[in-house]
Amino acid sequence: MLAKLSTRPAVRRCAGASALALALFGAGLPAAAADQPQPDLSRFYRQKLTWAPCRGTAMPKDLQCAKVTVPLDYARPGAGTLDVALARYRASGTSQGSLLLNFGGPGAAGIPSLAAEGKQFMDLTKGYDLVTFDPRGVGRSSPVSCGDGSDEASAVTEKDTDISRPRTLLNRLRQAADQCARSSGPVLAHIGTVNASRDLDVIRQALGDGRLNYLGFSYGSRLGAVYAAQFPGKVGRVVLDGVDTLTESLAEQGVAGAEGQQTALDDFLDWCTTDLGCPFGRDRRRAGDQVIRLVRSLDENPVPTDFGGSFSGQDLVGAIGQALYSRDLWPSLERALASLVDDGDTRGVLAFTTGGIGLPSHERHRTDGGLTDAQDVPADNLPAALMAINCADDPDRPTAARLTEDLKDLRAAYDQASPVFGRYRLTQLLLYYGRPRGTDFIRDRVKDVRSAKMLLVGTRGDPATPYRWAVETADRLGPSAVVLDNKGEGHTGYSSSLCVHRKVNDFLLYGSLPASGSSCPADASRQSAASDSTG
């Protein structure tokens, strides 16, 4: 599932590091002004959809595609529009409307996700048309980009974060932000979850549904929570699985994310060193040191790839981080690392990357608001959109003086959180420098939602969205939120727990909502899958 592509992982908070993160990024924008009269959006809400078979060799024959037109700027609907790409599987039984799916990210395109993973959701077609979409700035819907692999933005992510020369570093970061703005077109100024939520309501109306029925994974839970705050009277049956934080800053998430990924890596090494095929041997203490040495060696001497580029230690860190989202991937990760260590073969680890290392698209993608052809979506769209959406959702930006003052302490906090993932996560955080402040709507106004009951699924062993975020978000949303405690592991519960799968389906299909505080035990058959899979 593409929910596993989220790059906002965190498991627990490091108290000292969080205090530093709060100090650095704590100054937000003023509270939102009182609501103003809304401009006339009636022409967008009167749309009728035209469905046709999806084009492309990878598209299932029974998957249908359409588009819906939305304002580029909801405050000025006459200033331009953009098209949002949709796809659906028709209901196999008696339809009670549509069920919207968001697979996470942010930055993951919904249509290829549904095309590839749709079998997981076919039992929901007993009662729904299954519908997904590429959010604005993502996939075919005016995709954002930071340019091809030779640009300044890529250079910042692939080179070391040189804190000894902060002025040079900050100049490069600002150049990277400017490059992304030039490459992305007008949608960049109007990207983010608040606008995507408004698009979601236009989609709901175009589908002919009085209320939104929705299943959102990982980042998709943030989108669902924002929708509930903006349109509480339109909430139908909503499930949020792998619940995102609504309050923690990007800096806090980065520190906790490095720590969480380190914990997941430690769990993987505990397993790996019991297997004869582990490339780091059978000595658990030495295995952790060998991973660190491998990363540092590749940073100093990147190896070539089949694409003609190079593969660095930080590329490896990103690939490992993705593979750690599910225990089911551990055997594949072990084999990929063995190929890299023994033969210098990067193909296995490259399979876990989420963008930024593939062949860049040199086609000029559309900037007129129309849909982009699938083959012309920029290769870096996922990481570029992830950065842009997170940026738009977060109001905190340090000044150059503040960042320079605190950079050494921040680097120490990230390194303490993880000797493997710390630098990677810090580099991601620093890339937000030079970009405009985001909205304060999510932190200040997504709370005390008076809507129909929503089901929030939190997984105890989730390396990306910690269980405490489900509890904290439920407290913020108020009595409308019901928490299901999944005592298993892995990122999100629907695809990894038979119990969660059944309870979510019962709620979505039949309205049978579990009592708040209900739990699902760890799925023994899935927990042992990684141990049993050796070929």
Q: What is the CATH number of the domain that holds 205?
A: 3.40.50.1820
Q: Which H/E stretch holds residue 212? A: strand 212-217
Q: Rounded to the nearest 10 degrees, what angle do helices 400-417 and 15-25 cross at?
A: 160
* Confidence (pLDDT) at 148: 67
DSSP strand pairing (81-89 vs 64-71): antiparallel
Instruction: Give 404 or 5, the one with higher predicted confidence.
Output: 404
In this predicted structure, the answer to whether residue 6 has a pLDDT above a threshold of 90 is no
The residue whose two tokens read 């605190």 is 406
Do 91 and 225 lie in one domain? The reply is: yes
CB-based contact 243:215 (threshold 8 Å): no
**Mean pLDDT confidence for 287-299:** 96
- Does residue 377 lie within any of the structural domains? yes
Same domain (yes/no): 500, 415: no
Burial (Cβ within 10 Å: 0-12, 13-18, ≥19) of residue 354: buried
Q: What is the mean pLDDT of residues 245-249?
A: 92
Is residue 5 over pLDDT 70?
Answer: no
CA torsion angle 354 68 197 261 (round to 10): -10
Whether residues 122 and 200 share a domain: the answer is yes
pLDDT score of 369: 84
- Pick 433 or 510 by higher pLDDT: 510
In the predicted structure, residue 364 carries a pLDDT above the cut 70: no
**Is 66 domain-assigned?**
yes
End-to-end CA distance of the chain: 22
Give yes or no: residues 117 and 156 share one domain.
no
Q: What is the mean pLDDT of the chain?
A: 86
Closest CA to 317 of 373, 270, 357, 277: 357
- Is the same domain home to 200 and 233? yes
Residue 350 lies in a domain: yes
pLDDT band at 504 (very low <50, low <70, confident <90, very high): very high
- pLDDT confidence of residue 463: 80
H-helix segments, 26-150: 42-45, 110-117
Respond yes or no on whether the N-terminal peptide bond of residue 166 is cis (omega within 30° of 0): no
What does 421-454 look like in DSSP terms, one character per residue?
THHHHHHHHHTTTTSPP--SHHHHHS-S--SS-E
3-state secondary structure of 140: coil
Q: Look at strands 303-304 and 481-489 and give their pairing.
A: unpaired
User: What confidence score (pLDDT) does residue 163 get?
Assistant: 67
| Mean pLDDT to the nearest integer, 124-133 | 98
Of 146-150, 178-182, 340-344, where does mean pLDDT reach its minimum? Answer: 146-150
The answer to the question of residue 417 being in a domain is yes
The domain total for the chain is 2
Q: Residues 384, 477: one domain? A: no
pLDDT at 458 over 90: yes
- Quote the CA–CA distance of 360 and 392 in Å, as a whole number: 25
Q: Is 211 left (phi over 0), alpha (psi -120 to 50) or beta?
A: beta
**Across residues 106-117, what is the average pLDDT?**
95
Structural tokens at position 79: 């200033």
Same domain, 205 and 106: yes
pLDDT band at residue 23 under the 50/70/90 scheme: very low
Please report the DSSP string for 339-385 in residue order. HHHHH---HHHHTT--SSSSPPP-S----SSSPPPGGGS-TTHHHHH
Q: What is the mean pLDDT of residues 366-393?
A: 90
Query: Taking 50 as the threshold, does the pLDDT of residue 532 lie above it?
Result: no
Range of the domain at 46: 41-143+190-246+440-526
Other beta carbons less than 10 A from residue 165's beta carbon: 10
For the chain, percent of residues with pLDDT exceeding 90 = 67
294 and 158, same domain (yes or no): yes
CA distance 239 to 129: 16
User: Of 382, 416, 434, which residue is a domain's last?
Assistant: 434
pLDDT number for residue 161: 56
> Given this model, what pLDDT does residue 357 score?
32
| Spatial distance between the Cα atoms of 287 and 271, rounded to a whole number of angstroms | 11
Asked if 197 and 263 sit in the same domain, the reply is no
Q: How confident is the model at residue 306 (pLDDT cuts 50, 70, 90)?
A: confident
353, 312 contact by CB (below 8 A): no
Residue 449, φ and ψ in degrees, nearest 5: -80, 125
Same domain flag for 258 and 123: no
Residues 212, 80 share a domain: yes
For residue 394, is pLDDT > 60?
Answer: yes
Phi, psi of 101 (to 5 degrees): -120, 135
42 — pLDDT class (breaks 50, 70, 90): very high
Q: For the residues 511-516, what does the mean pLDDT come to?
A: 94
Q: What is the mean pLDDT of residues 230-257?
A: 93
Euclidean distance between CA atoms 525 and 429, whole angstroms: 38
- Which of 13-17, 104-108, 239-243, 384-388 is least confident? 13-17
165, part of any domain: yes
The predicted pLDDT at position 366 comes to: 58
pLDDT, tens only, 158-168: 444 566 778 88
DSSP type of residue 97: S
| Higher pLDDT pick, 41 / 173 | 41
Alpha-carbon span 100 to 474, nearest angstrom = 21
For the ranges 84-88, 169-173, 260-264, 305-309, the lowest mean pLDDT is seen at 305-309
- The 10 Å Cβ neighbour count of residue 522 is 16
* pLDDT score, position 9: 33
The answer to the question of residue 9 being in a domain is no
Is residue 81 included in any domain, yes or no? Answer: yes
> What is the pTM for the complete model shown?
0.87
- The residue type found at 419 is P
Lookup result for tokens 């060998």: 290
Helix axes 250-272, 15-25, angle to 10 degrees: 150
DSSP3 helix / strand / coil % (the chain, rounded to 5): 45, 15, 40
365 in any annotated domain: no
Q: Is the pLDDT of residue 253 over 50?
A: yes
Burial class (CB in 10 A: 0-12, 13-18, 19+), 166: middle
Residues linked to residue 116 through DSSP beta bridges, in sequence order: none
Element (DSSP H or E) covering residue 303: strand 303-304
Same domain, 175 and 237: no
Q: What pLDDT is attached to residue 388?
A: 96
**Does 471 have pLDDT greater than 60?**
yes
